[in-house]
Structure formats: structure tokens, C-alpha cells
Chain A
Amino acid sequence: MSIVLRIALILGALFALSIVVRKVRKSKIRIADSVYWVCAAVLLLILAIFPGIAYFFSDLLGFLSPSNFVFLVVIALILLKLFNLACEVSRLTDKVEQLSQEVALSKKEFGDNLQNKR
């Protein structure tokens, strides 16, 4: 694993951590939702500081270069997060639809649905 990749990983991870901290401070992300990003950044930091881990796993899995293992980890993290986001969007869509249905039904119940004349 080249020293350039290690430095890039360290800088990238620290940069990511600083962004997460700033967003939490500005109330742009809930702490529960930030846990994943902190863990991912720390994981990359560990891989950069202890390249032995990457060497070990790339030998174990038969990769040509330990940096390939690092890329694999990054891609896996992204795919995992992406799929979880898709699930979350589905759940949110369902919730918005349920809310819309309830709003429509309650407005009808209280006779307010004849007020949308423009």
C-alpha cells in the first residue's frame, strides 16, 4: 500500500470526520444517523495507520495489491449504505402516503374538504 494512498486515506477520513462533526453541531444530521459515518471514517483511518491489516486480508483473499482490499472495503461500505438508504426512502414514502391518506380522510370527516376552490 503506497504512502500516497495512506496519506490520502488519513486526510480523507479526517476531512469526513470534520464534516460529520460540523453537521451535527449545526443540527443537520441526527447523532443516530451520524454513527455510520463516524465508524466508516474511523475504519478507513485504522486501515491507513495500520497497513498490516490490508496486507493480511489481501494475502488471505489472494488480491494482487493491498490497496485493492482498501478499495473493496470502501465499495462495500458505499453499497451497504446505499441499500439502507433505499430501504429508508421506501419507509419514508410509505409514511408520507399514510399521512396524506389520513389528512384527506380527516378533512372529509370534519367537512373541510370543500375549501379548495381557487
Chain B
Amino acid sequence: MRVLAIVPAYNEEECLANTVRELTSTCPDVDYLVVNDGSSDATPRICDELALNHIDLPVNCGLTSAVKAGMKYALRHGYDAAVQIDSDGQHIPEYIPTMAKTLEDEGADIVIASRNLAGGGAVGARGAGAKLITAIIHQTTGATITDPTSGMRMYNRAMIERLARGFDLAPEPDTIALLIRRGAKVIEVPAKMRERQGGTSYLHFMSSISYMARTCLSILLFQWFR
């Protein structure tokens, strides 16, 4: 099975090199693609100097668009599965083979690396937000996703096609809920994650408010009309 690791990177000069190094040394069978999302720091230079396999979005488009570009690449290069790996080093690549095996053996469409199944998980306000999303996904789809905000998700070929072509399909919990309702089989595997190794998160405080608003609205309301 050919697996592509999509590494979206926006201003990640501090940890991108280490993340890719760890990825290639732990999983030599897994191809990767760094998606430089119009970074204004040294990220594009690092990509060139270390000859990383990468593409450069000409302007900053956001995480959703960066992942979508990766999905298009995976689709056009005939990959069987694609996994999103954050460039800040919080995702541990050792879990990729386990996820790929689960995807293949269990016939899953999406495999999520769950911190909660490994006894961890977000705490505080972020943990409460994640629990809320778990609850509303369970209410609307009947499926239990213990770690809906985990960014480390692996998609099979059918899901890659959807994500590459769909409109407004963010790699976020609301898309998972929508795909479950459309019949996708989602399995979680236990995985530990690290604290982010540097850089700034896509989710700051104020944006986490609008993130929650968008996610809840999408799952509770718009899911029924899409």
C-alpha cells in the first residue's frame, strides 16, 4: 500500500526539518509531501536546501487549502492512502504503519490517531471543546469519535477523492461527521502525541471560539443539507 504523508507547513522554519527527518527515518516506506502554505519565513528556503519533496502555494490559503493541495497530489500520483502530519512535530510518525494496517485490515475509510484511547487527550478548555464535539457527533451520527480534533488522520483512496474535489471539506471534525453520515467507516487507533515543538498553532484563542462555532454549526445544522 502506497501511503503519502501530507505535511502542511505555514511558517514552520523551526521544526519542519526535524519533522521530515523523523518521518523519513522512522517510515522509509512512506512518501511525504510538504505543502508550504505561502510561508513568509525561511520555510521555502529550508524546503529547497534540504531538497524536501514539496509544493509551494503562491499565497497563504490556510490549512484546509494546504491539505486539499496535498490530497490532489495524492490523487494524481495514485496513492492508496494519505495521512496528515503536522509540521510542528506533535504527531509521532511511528503510528503511521499501524494506521495503514488498520485502514487495510479493517477496511476503514478513515483512521484517526486518538490521544484519548492512549490515555491522554486535550485538557482544560480545549478538552471540553473536544468532548462537546464528540457528543454532538455521537448525537447526529451515532458514531463515537473519542478524539475528533486529532489532526493525525489517514484517509483511503475514496476519501482522498472526496477531499480533493469537494467544496468546503476542511480536514476537521465536521467533515468526519459528514463522511460518517455518507457511509464512511471511521476507526480510531490509540496514539500518543507530543506538545508542539515550536511555531504557533493554527488555533489561537479567538480563532478557537470561531472554530467551535463553525464546527458546531456545521455538524448540528448544515450537515443535514449538504
A-to-B contact residues, CB < 8 Å:
94, 96-97, 100-101, 103-105, 107-108, 113-114, 116-118
B68 to chain A, nearest CB (A): 6
A33 to chain B, nearest CB (A): 23
Task: Report how many A-B pairs have Cβ atoms within 8 Å.
Answer: 53
Report whether A114 and B48 are in contact in the complex, using a CB–CB cutoff of 8 Å.
yes
Given A96-B61, A97-B68, A104-B35, also A118-B45 (CB < 8 A): yes
Report whether B57 and A104 are in contact in the complex, using a CB–CB cutoff of 8 Å.
yes
Q: Could you tell me the dominant secondary structure of chain B's interface residues?
A: mixed
Q: In the complex, which residues of chain A have a beta carbon less than 8 angstroms from the beta carbon of B73? A: 105, 108
A116 to B49, CA, bound (A): 10
Report whether A116 and B57 are in contact in the complex, using a CB–CB cutoff of 8 Å.
no
Q: Could you tell me the dominant secondary structure of chain A's interface residues?
A: helix
Q: Which of A104, A108, A114, A118 contacts B58 (CB 8 A)?
A: A104
Q: Does B72 make an interface contact (CB < 8 A)?
A: yes
Given A114-B48, A116-B44, A118-B45, also A100-B57 (CB < 8 A): yes
Q: In the complex, which residues of chain B have a beta carbon less than 8 angstroms from the beta carbon of A108? A: 54-55, 73
A105 to B72, CA, bound (A): 8
Question: Shortest 3 CB-CB distances between A and B: which pairs?
Answer: A101-B69, A104-B55, A97-B65
A113 to B53, CA, bound (A): 10
A22 to chain B, nearest CB (A): 32
**Chain B: interface residue count, which band?**
20 to 34
Listed A/B pairs (9) with beta-carbon separation below 8 Å: A97-B61, A97-B65, A100-B65, A100-B69, A101-B69, A104-B56, A114-B48, A116-B44, A117-B48
Apart from A97-B68, A105-B69, what 20 extra A-B contacts exist at CB < 8 Å? A94-B167, A97-B62, A100-B61, A100-B65, A100-B69, A101-B57, A101-B61, A101-B65, A101-B68, A104-B58, A104-B69, A105-B72, A105-B73, A105-B76, A107-B55, A108-B54, A108-B55, A113-B55, A116-B44, A117-B45
Q: In the complex, which residues of chain B have a beta carbon less than 8 angstroms from the beta carbon of A116? A: 44-45, 48, 56
Contact with A along B52-93 (1 / 0, CB 8 A): 001111110110110011001100100000000000000000
A102 to chain B, nearest CB (A): 8
A107 to B62, CA, bound (A): 19
Q: Does B168 make an interface contact (CB < 8 A)?
A: yes
A103 to B167, CA, bound (A): 18
